């Protein structure tokens, strides 16, 4: 097993073919969660559209070491969902991530929310036909998303034009750049709360031309989350693990919000 630092893992992630490099550009940085929250804090309506709904993918490892994933959908209402500073901000993205994770664990929400079943497994995700947050939550204390070296740092997510011989869509208009959300969750073994991580992207439901996907047009995506698990007693090195979801967007997105 190769022992490498986070920096070495990053270099390996971005040393792939040029077509498989990250593509957060063309002003997409404006969709970062911290920027959205700053706009919420200073004005009633942010400059960028803010999702009203959430696609939530819950991931964990079972006691027999098999990988488990289950998806849920929160349709929301007429009000946008701000990112929020903490899970205590009722109605915020961070609030719903914790609430949906609890729902995935227990089958019930502390506040009585009911979330729509949106399938399972990561190979054939059917994203909602709606402009929405997409949150991928890893319910394991020791699995951390590999972060790049930008300011602020973002999780390393690699989209592909081709994977295992199959062609996929890849353009900067479909998804906003990823952000990491850290949530404190109860640990049943210790009786305490500890950190879990989620990667959040905004599914913009736009095609390669930068416009909304037309009715019944489907785009397929393949992408990788690069994650790290530290070796015991070692703070600088660890194992790199890649989780490789794939899914389809089908237009048109449903309101709200009303997108150009």
Q: Which pLDDT band, with edges at 50, 70 and 90, does 28 fall under?
A: low
Pairing of strands 246-250, 125-126: parallel
Q: Going by C-beta distance under 8 Å and a sequence separation of 6 or more, which residues neighbour residue 250?
A: 126, 129, 213, 216, 217, 218, 219
Structure tokens at 163: 């994977």
Residue 95 lies in a domain: yes
With 80 as the cut, is the pLDDT of residue 190 above it? yes
User: What is the predicted pLDDT for the residue at 186?
Assistant: 93
Classify residue 60 by its DSSP letter: E
Q: How far apart are CA 175 and CA 177, in angstroms?
A: 6
Does residue 94 belong to any structural domain of this protein?
A: yes
pLDDT in tens, 200-252: 999 999 999 989 999 999 999 999 999 999 888 877 788 999 999 999 999 98
The least confident of 28-37, 118-127, 177-186 is: 28-37
> Angle at the Cα of 59 (from 56 to 63), degrees rounded to 5?
150
Domain assignment present for 255: no
| 137-183 per-position pLDDT tens digit | 999 999 999 999 888 889 999 999 998 899 999 998 899 899 999 99
pLDDT of residue 110: 93
Total structural domains within the chain:
1
Kindly state whether residue 91 falls inside one of the protein's structural domains. yes
Enclosing domain of residue 89 = 4-250
pLDDT at 259 exceeding the cut of 90: no
Strand-pair category, 157-159 with 246-250: unpaired
Q: What percent of the chain has pLDDT over 70?
A: 93
Q: Provide the token pair at 181.
A: 């959300």
Residue 49 maps to a domain: yes
Rounded to whole angstroms, the Cα distance separating 46 from 4 reads 41
Beta strands 54-61 and 157-159 are: unpaired
Residue 112 CA to residue 186 CA, distance in Å, equals: 18
Residue 125 within any structural domain of the chain:
yes
Rounded distance, CA 260 to CA 244, Å? Answer: 31
Query: Do the domain assignments include residue 117?
Result: yes
- On whether residue 258 sits in a domain, the answer given is no
Where are the strands (E) in 107-236, listed by range? 116-120, 125-126, 132-138, 144-145, 157-159, 162-163, 166-167, 179-186, 193-203, 218-230
CA distance 67 to 50: 32
Which pLDDT belongs to residue 40? 81
* The model scores a pTM over 0.75: yes
Return the minimum-mean-pLDDT range out of 31-35, 106-110, 135-139, 140-144: 31-35
């Amino acid at each position: 097993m190769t022992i490498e630092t986070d920096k070495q893992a990053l270099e390996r992630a971005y040393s792939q073919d040029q077509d498989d490099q990250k593509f957060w550009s063309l002003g997409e940085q404006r969709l970062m969660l911290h920027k959205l929250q700053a706009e919420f804090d200073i004005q009633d309506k942010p400059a960028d559209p803010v999702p009203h709904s959430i696609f939530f993918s819950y991931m964990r490892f079972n006691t027999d070491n098999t990988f488990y994933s289950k998806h849920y959908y929160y349709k929301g209402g007429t009000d946008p969902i701000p990112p929020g500073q903490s899970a205590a901000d009722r109605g915020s993205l961070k609030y719903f991530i914790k609430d949906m994770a609890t729902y995935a664990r227990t089958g019930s929400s502390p506040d009585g929310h009911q979330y729509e079943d949106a399938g399972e497994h990561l190979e054939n995700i059917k994203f909602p036909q709606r402009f929405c947050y997409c949150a991928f939550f890893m319910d394991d204390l020791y699995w951390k998303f590999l972060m790049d070296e930008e300011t602020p740092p973002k999780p390393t997510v690699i989209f592909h034009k081709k994977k295992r011989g199959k062609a996929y869509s890849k353009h900067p208009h479909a998804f906003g750049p990823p952000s990491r959300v850290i949530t404190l969750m109860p640990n049943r073994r210790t009786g305490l709360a500890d950190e879990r991580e989620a990667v959040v992207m905004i599914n913009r439901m736009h095609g390669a031309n930068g416009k909304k996907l037309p009715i019944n047009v489907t785009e397929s995506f393949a992408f990788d989350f690069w994650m790290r698990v530290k070796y015991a007693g070692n703070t600088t090195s660890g194992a790199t693990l890649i989780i490789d979801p794939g899914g389809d967007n089908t237009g048109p997105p449903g309101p709200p919000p009303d997108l150009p």
